[in-house]
Structures are given as C-alpha cells and as structure tokens.
C-alpha cells in the first residue's frame, strides 16, 4: 500500500501550489542566460538589433500576443470553473488549447517567412536572429508542453471539482507564466527601435 | 524486530518502482557510489602519470580527457547529489516527522533522470571522451575541440534537472510537512543546510543548463553569443558558467556543514553552540555565495573594479563560514567527547574545511591570485573543500546513519582505521599541491620540470593511500549488510526524530505522528 505524505487534500493543494511556484523560479532562471545574452548583444551591436527588429512581422506578432492573452483568460475561467465544480471546465480547456495551437501555427508561418531573410543576414544580425529563434523557440516548447497538459486535464476533467482541483490550478499558473514570458519577448524583438527614426 | 522499509519487497522491481523516499535514497547511494569510483579511477591514472616528470604513461590528449571526466563525474554525478539526494532524501522526512517527501513520484523520477544523464555521460566516455575540462570554456569547447562535447553537455543538462527536482521536493517538504510543534528554530541544522542547498539548486542549476545548451547550439550550428568570430563574447560564457559553478561549491559544502552539526553535538554530548547563528550563517553563505562568482575571472580580462568588488564579497562570505567553524569548536568545549568513526570524519571535516577556506582567502586576494591562478594551489584549495570537506562529511554521515539505513552496525574499529587512513592519505595527496602551486606548477599538464618531482611523488603516494581508504568502507559496509550486529533504534543516544523510530524505519516512518516540544540538540552532559 502506497503511503501518502499528506493528511488532507487541503494540505496537498498547498504543497502543489508551493511546488509550482518553486518550479517557476527555476524556469525564470532557465530563461535568464538568454535574456542576459540579449542585453549583452543589444549593448554591443545596437545597429544590428535595430535592423533586425525591422524584419519582424509585427502584425502577426501583435495578433499572436492578443491570442495568447485571450488564452490566459480562458485558462483562468477554466480554473474558476474547476473551483466551482462546474461542467464548463471542459469547454474552457478546449478553448485554451485551441488558442495555444493557433499561436503555434502563426509562429510557424512567421518562422517560414523569416527563414529566407536569415539566409541573407550576416554578422551581428545573425546574433539577433539566433537569440530570436532560441528565445521564441524555447517559449514555443513551453507552450507545447502546456497544451499537452491542458489536453491531459481535459481527458480527466471529471476528477476535478470543488473538493479537489489543484492540478487545474497548477496548470493555470504555469500557463500564465508562459504567457508572461511572451509579454517580454514581444516588445524585445518586435517593437524596440522599430519605430524610432 | 522486523526489517522495516527494507522488508517491504525484495525484488528488483520493488526497488525500481518504489515511491518510498528511503528506498530512493538507497538507489541514489548505489548510483553515486559507482560514479565515485569511476571518477576516482580517472584521478588514479592522472596521479600515476604525474609520478614522473616525463609524459610517459598517457598522451597529452588522453590526460586532458582524464581530468575532464574526473571533474565532470565527481562534480555532477557524485558531489552535488551526494548528501542532498542520498541523505537528504533519506533523512529530511524522518527528521521533520513526515511520512514521505511531498512529491514521491517526482522523487523517483529524479533518480531516473539522474541515471539517464549518467548514461549519456558514459556514452560520451565510450565514444572516446571529451577534453575541454569540466569548465567547457569557449571558444575551445565550441570551435576547436574535436571530442564528444555535445554528448557530455546533454548528460550534464539532464542530470541538472534531477538536482532541481530533488531541491524542489526538499523545499516543499520542509515548508509543508513538519510535525506538530516543529517550528523553524527547532529544525535540526541538517534540515537548514539542505533547505538552503535546495534554494541554490533551484536558482543556479537552470542557468548552467541554459548556458551549456547555448554552447551546444553554437557548436552544432555555428551561430551564438560566445564566439568572438560570431560577434559574441567568451567572457559572457565565463560569467554565466561561474554564476552557477561558484554557488555549486556551496551546494557541495552546505550539506556537509549540516552533517557536522548533527555528528559533533551527538559525540560531544552537548547542544550545538549558537544554534541561531549557525542557521543564519547557512542562509548567509547561501546568499553571499551568489555574489562572488567573479573571483574565478580575476585574470580573464574583466574590469579591475569588478575584480575589487568580487574580491571584497569573497572575503565577506568567509565570515559566516568562520562563525560555523568557531561554533563547532565551541560545541566541543567541556564536552564529553567520544571519538567514534563518524566523529573522526566530522572533526576531519572541520579541520580540512578550515585549511581549504583559509587558502580560499589567499586566492580571493587580487594580487596573490595573479600569481596563483591556474596553478596546483587552486587544485589543492578546492580539493580541501570538496574532498576534505564534502567527501569526509558524506562518509561521516554514511557511518552515523548506517544503523538507520541498513539496520546493521558497521564494525567500529574498521571505521576508525578507514577514517584515519583517509585523513592521512588526503593530506599527503593535496598538501604538497599547495607547495607545487606556490612554486608555479600549472594545472592540467601531463608533464612537468624535474625539480617538481619530489612533491609530486608525495602526492601520488598519498593518492594510493587515499584509494585504500576509500575502498575500506566499501568492503566493511558491504560486509556489515549481512554480518553486522543488529542495530537498536537509537545506538548513539542521539536526540533527532529519526532515532525515535525503528532501525530500519517502517515504510510509513513513524507508528504515531511525533510531537516536538523542544530544540534539536537537547543532550544531557555525561558527568
């Protein structure tokens, strides 16, 4: 017989929430060297980073930002539905996953269009593109994992209700983290210096 | 008398699918012991080569691969998981009166992740090794080395996540699963030390993982941010690498300090001197330890003013470390000291850590460091901390808690002989290296001028003694598993909660949930 370390589901929920926050601390530091490398690259090659931001597809990037922010809303509504023990949990989870997939689809089409521009780039502009692909790529990996977990929650949605719902909450916190990372990436690559002179 | 958690299943399957923190600790112990002897074998070959000035036993290239695999294996596959993953896993729930770690399945997953990382590293070894040194400095690692850099990086990347998950588990467990009455300032210092270590694991390890990923990408696709030819900066790599790797030293030594703080009060029969200062010193070391990484870069071209700040901060981190040494010493004062094998290891730890720490201050001095950088002085310094400090404490801990882990007593006389052999062999190996470094012998060469031979011979002879010292516990602890005397619940008359349950403990740890009403070291003096 397996031993559970907890006395109650309440105690378990507290541990789950602390666990995901501790994990996100690690995640922030995992992205850290990339952000540090971006600052370093920007300081040493400002002109190349300015030129790079002009090659970004800002309309698609903005659209994607809106899609991702909306997915955070549907995720939050899903968490509220789980806490209230409402059936709508499944609907919100499906919407969240679909919005995530839409983001990935648009991102992929951007990558496709940018690949020809990368072939023409040289010197420090390559550093810009390297950081762009590394950072948005890592973000996309995180989003893909998030979609997978949301799909898993959808399959087991009947388990969650007013009494026990910490997996939905934990996934929600992770999902919002992935969105917040994008909130930083979007201005860093698409907006900075694009509209100056 | 039953066989506790050990009697819950005898098949290999029952071990490989367990969620019991105590069994996972044993799995870790087996795995890291294998890696310890692998890393040790590489060191033995190096010391054999260095017995003579000429490079006659192995080629320069082979020597480079030997010190690389020695460093990689010992740092990431032995020292970092040693105390947190083996004894932390085993003891944290027992010491705080919990039934298990907060996330038992995650705990087992972390062991499998460790094994997977180990397989990648072993594959790199079989494929011909790697020659960058454990530091993977760019641009050598990205542009010039023609060895299996990426394979080893994948191994280190993976094993990092095993450490992160163990750290996360320890943090949540300590926060959420303490027994009634067990307030923060009633926690054993071993718990404080592993808690602080877990914070470092969570904050530092991901930085290394991403930095090494960037090295691998740069090597594979020839684009990146470290190579000057690509518009990058090799100093950026060094900053990121040491931002992890200096705190990593505290990942290795803080748990060792926790071990000493358990063993010394027990065998001096006194409460630990200045408990709160000991706890604050642990947190102080963990915090300041994050701000000293630049002292690895005094001669690599960082700003002189940055060097001055990093030098000052490195002196600052010595203050909480010194507080701990003084407090262990004061704990002994007027104690009823019993020189058991764990106590010999713990006292050896305090002495060797002090020497390693003091020579660290020499290296933290800007002017002296210019002379000593990349010499054997550095090698001797960090081996006094990592081997003299951490490995001594790990072995002390294995002996101290062996009755709890295995349900058997180890042979005491053999234990003392091994402790003294290791202490003697260690000093004979590494003290001459201080002198060699001071005289100017650089590290990482397989040959050297003949005038250095006498000291190198002492060092190689010491390594042979050390090897015997490390093989002894492997032999008699293995023997004691089958023939050792049955251990009582509390053979040392110690005060920790882990001694209030059976040896070995039952699967659920305590038959009744313990209630704590006093501090951790309420030892009565022996009159």
Lowest mean pLDDT among A35-44, A102-111, A116-125, B210-219: A116-125
For the entire predicted model, the pTM comes to 0.96
Average pLDDT, chain A: 94
Interface mutation vs chain B, best among A25, A29, A123, most B CBs within 10 Å: A29
Ramachandran category for residue B497: left, alpha or beta (phi over 0 → left; psi -120 to 50 → alpha): alpha
Please tell me the predicted confidence (pLDDT) of residue A1: 43
- Sorted by where each begins, the domain ranges of chain A are 9-191
CATH superfamily of A9-191: Cytochrome c oxidase, subunit III, four-helix bundle (1.20.120.80)
CA distance B89 to B6: 16
Partners of B87 in beta bridges: none
pLDDT category of residue B436 using cuts at 50, 70 and 90? very high
Query: Do residues B122 and B116 touch, judged by C-beta distance below 8 A?
Result: no
Closest by CA to B492, choosing from B330, B328, B277, B346, is B346
Q: What is the pLDDT of residues B473-503, one digit of tens each?
A: 999 999 999 999 999 999 999 999 999 999 9
What is the percentage of chain A residues whose pLDDT exceeds 70? 98
Max Cα–Cα distance, chain B, nearest Å: 72
**Identity of the residue in A11, A31, A127 whose CB atom sits nearest the CB atom of B225:** A127
CA distance B464 to B44: 8
Q: Name, in order, each residue with C-beta under 8 angstroms of B310's C-beta and a sequence gap of 6 or more.
A: B291, B292, B293, B294, B295, B297, B298
Interface of A with B in 85-144 (CB under 8 A): 123-124, 126-127, 129-131, 134
Closest by CA to B487, choosing from B411, B393, B416, B396, is B411
Q: What is the pLDDT of residues B192-210, one digit of tens each?
A: 999 999 999 999 999 999 9
> What DSSP character marks residue A193?
T
More confident residue, B105 or A2: B105
Q: What is the pLDDT of residues A145-154, one digit of tens each?
A: 999 999 999 9
- Check: complex ipTM more than 0.85: yes
Over residues B416-432, mean pLDDT: 98
Please tell me the predicted confidence (pLDDT) of residue B185: 96
Q: Name, in order, each residue with C-beta under 8 angstroms of B120's C-beta and a sequence gap of 6 or more.
A: B151, B152, B154, B155, B158
3-class SS of residue A122: coil
Max Cα–Cα distance, chain A, nearest Å: 69
| CB of A69 less than 8 A from some CB of B | no
DSSP of B362-391:
HHHSHHHHHHHTTBHHHHHHHHIIIIIIII
Chain B residues in contact with A17 (beta carbon < 8 A): none
Q: What is the pLDDT of residues B347-397, one digit of tens each?
A: 999 999 999 999 999 999 999 999 999 999 999 999 999 999 999 999 999
User: Could you tell me how far CA A194 lies from the centroid of its own chain?
Assistant: 23
Q: Work out the number of other CB atoms within 10 angstroms of the CB of residue B205.
A: 27
Q: Is the dihedral of CA B105, B107, B110, B115 positive or negative?
A: negative
pLDDT at residue B527 is higher than 70: no
A126 vs B211: CB contact, 8 Å cut-off?
no
| CB of B175 less than 8 A from some CB of A | yes
**Identity of the residue in B102, B207, B231 whose CB atom sits nearest the CB atom of A33:** B207
- Work out the burial of residue B253: count CB atoms within 10 Å of its CB; fewer than 13 is exposed, 13-18 middle, 19 or more buried: buried
CA distance A92 to B359: 61
Lowest mean pLDDT among A40-44, A167-171, B351-355, B465-469: A40-44
Q: What is the pLDDT of residues B58-104, one digit of tens each?
A: 999 999 999 999 999 999 999 999 999 999 999 999 999 999 999 99
| CB of B334 less than 8 A from some CB of A | no
Please tell me the predicted confidence (pLDDT) of residue B526: 67
**Identity of the residue in A5, A14, A30 whose CB atom sits nearest the CB atom of B206:** A30
**Domains of chain B: residue spans and CATH:** 21-500 (1.20.210.10)
B231 vs A126: CB contact, 8 Å cut-off?
yes
Closest by CA to B524, choosing from B331, B335, B302, B358, is B335
What is the percentage of chain B residues whose pLDDT exceeds 70? 99
Q: What is the pLDDT of residues B226-237, one digit of tens each?
A: 998 888 899 999
Partners of B442 in beta bridges: B375
pLDDT category of residue A3 using cuts at 50, 70 and 90? low
Burial string for B421-439 (b: 16+ CB within 10 Å, else e) reads bbbebbbbbbbbbbbbbbe
Burial string for B494-515 (b: 16+ CB within 10 Å, else e) reads bbbbbbbbbbbbbbbbbeeebe
Q: Work out the number of other CB atoms within 10 angstroms of the CB of residue A143.
A: 22
B508 vs A3: CB contact, 8 Å cut-off?
yes
Interface mutation vs chain A, best among B24, B89, B102, B244, most A CBs within 10 Å: B102
Residue B128, token pair as written in the block: 């011909």
What is the percentage of chain A residues whose pLDDT exceeds 90? 84
Per the listing, tokens 């960037």 go with: B214
Q: What is the pLDDT of residues B295-342, one digit of tens each?
A: 999 999 889 999 999 999 999 999 999 999 999 999 999 999 999 999
Q: Name, in order, each residue with C-beta under 8 angstroms of B220's C-beta and a sequence gap of 6 or more.
A: B150
A25 vs B203: CB contact, 8 Å cut-off?
yes
Interface of B with A in 80-99 (CB under 8 A): 93, 98-99
Query: Do residues B48 and B460 touch, judged by C-beta distance below 8 A?
Result: yes
């Amino acid at each position: 017989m397996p031993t559970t370390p907890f006395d109650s589901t309440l105690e378990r929920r507290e541990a789950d929430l602390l666990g995901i926050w501790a994990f996100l601390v690690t995640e922030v530091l995992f992205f850290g060297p990339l952000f540090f490398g971006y600052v370093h690259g920007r300081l040493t090659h400002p002109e190349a980073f300015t030129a790079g931001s002009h090659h970004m597809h800002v309309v698609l990037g903005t659209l994607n930002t809106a899609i991702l922010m909306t997915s955070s809303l549907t995720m939050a509504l899903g968490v509220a539905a789980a806490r209230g023990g409402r059936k709508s949990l499944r609907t919100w989870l499906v919407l969240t996953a679909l919005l995530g997939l839409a983001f990935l689809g648009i991102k992929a089409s951007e990558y496709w269009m940018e690949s020809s521009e990368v072939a023409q780039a040289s010197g420090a502009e390559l550093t810009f593109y390297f950081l762009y692909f590394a950072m948005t790529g890592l973000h996309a990996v995180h989003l893909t994992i998030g979609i997978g977990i949301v799909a898993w929650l959808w399959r087991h949605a009947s388990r969650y209700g007013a009494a026990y719902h910490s997996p939905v909450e934990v996934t929600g916190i992770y999902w919002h983290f992935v969105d917040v990372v994008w909130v930083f990436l979007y201005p860093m690559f698409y907006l900075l210096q694009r509209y100056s002179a | 008398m039953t066989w506790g958690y050990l009697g819950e299943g005898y098949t290999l399957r029952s071990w490989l699918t367990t969620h019991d923190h105590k069994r996972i600790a044993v799995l870790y112990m087996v795995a890291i012991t294998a890696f310890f002897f692998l890393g040790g074998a590489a060191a033995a070959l190096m010391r054999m080569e260095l017995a003579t000035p000429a490079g006659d036993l192995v080629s320069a290239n082979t020597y480079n691969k030997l010190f690389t695999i020695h460093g990689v294996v010992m740092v990431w596959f032995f020292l970092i998981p040693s105390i947190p993953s083996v004894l932390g896993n085993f003891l944290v729930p027992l010491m705080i009166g919990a039934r298990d770690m907060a996330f038992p399945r995650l705990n087992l997953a972390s062991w499998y992740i460790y094994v997977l990382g180990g397989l990648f590293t072993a594959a790199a070894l079989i494929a011909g090794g790697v020659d960058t040194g454990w530091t993977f400095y760019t641009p050598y690692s990205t542009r010039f080395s023609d060895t299996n850099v990426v394979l080893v990086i994948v191994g280190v990347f993976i094993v990092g996540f095993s450490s992160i998950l163990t750290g996360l588990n320890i943090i949540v467990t300590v926060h959420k699963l303490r027994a009634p009455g067990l307030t923060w300032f009633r926690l054993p210092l071993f718990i404080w030390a592993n808690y602080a270590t877990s914070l470092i694991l969570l904050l530092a390890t991901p930085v290394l993982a991403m930095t090494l990923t960037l090295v691998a990408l740069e090597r594979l696709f020839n684009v990146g941010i470290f190579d000057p030819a690509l518009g990058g900066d090799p100093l950026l790599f060094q900053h990121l690498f040491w931002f992890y790797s200096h705190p990593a030293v505290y990942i290795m030594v803080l748990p060792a300090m926790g071990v000493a703080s358990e063993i010394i009060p027990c065998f001096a029969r006194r409460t630990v001197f200045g408990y709160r200062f000991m706890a604050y010193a642990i947190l102080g070391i963990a915090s300041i330890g994050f701000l000293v990484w630049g002292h690895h870069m005094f001669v690599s071209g960082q700003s002189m003013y940055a060097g001055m700040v990093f030098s000052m901060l490195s002196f600052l981190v010595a203050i909480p470390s010194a507080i701990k040494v003084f407090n262990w010493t004061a704990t002994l004062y007027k104690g009823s000291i019993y020189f058991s094998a764990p106590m010999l290891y713990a006292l050896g730890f305090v002495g060797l850590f002090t020497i390693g720490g003091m020579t660290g201050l020499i290296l933290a001095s800007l002017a002296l460091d210019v002379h000593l950088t990349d010499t054997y002085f550095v090698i001797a310094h960090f081996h006094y901390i990592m081997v003299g400090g951490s490995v001594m404490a790990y072995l002390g801990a294995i002996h101290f808690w062996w009755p709890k882990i295995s349900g058997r007593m180890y042979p005491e006389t053999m234990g003392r002989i091994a402790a003294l052999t290791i202490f003697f062999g260690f000093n004979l190996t590494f003290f001459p290296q201080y002198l060699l470094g001071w005289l100017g012998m650089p590290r990482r060469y397989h040959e050297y001028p003949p005038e250095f031979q006498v000291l190198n011979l002492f060092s190689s002879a010491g390594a042979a003694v050390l090897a015997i010292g490390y093989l002894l516990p492997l032999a008699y602890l293995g023997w004691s598993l089958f023939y050792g005397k049955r251990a009582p619940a509390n053979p040392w008359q110690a005060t920790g909660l882990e001694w209030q349950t059976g040896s070995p403990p039952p699967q659920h740890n305590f038959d009744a949930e313990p209630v704590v009403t006093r501090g951790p070291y309420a030892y009565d003096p022996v009159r």
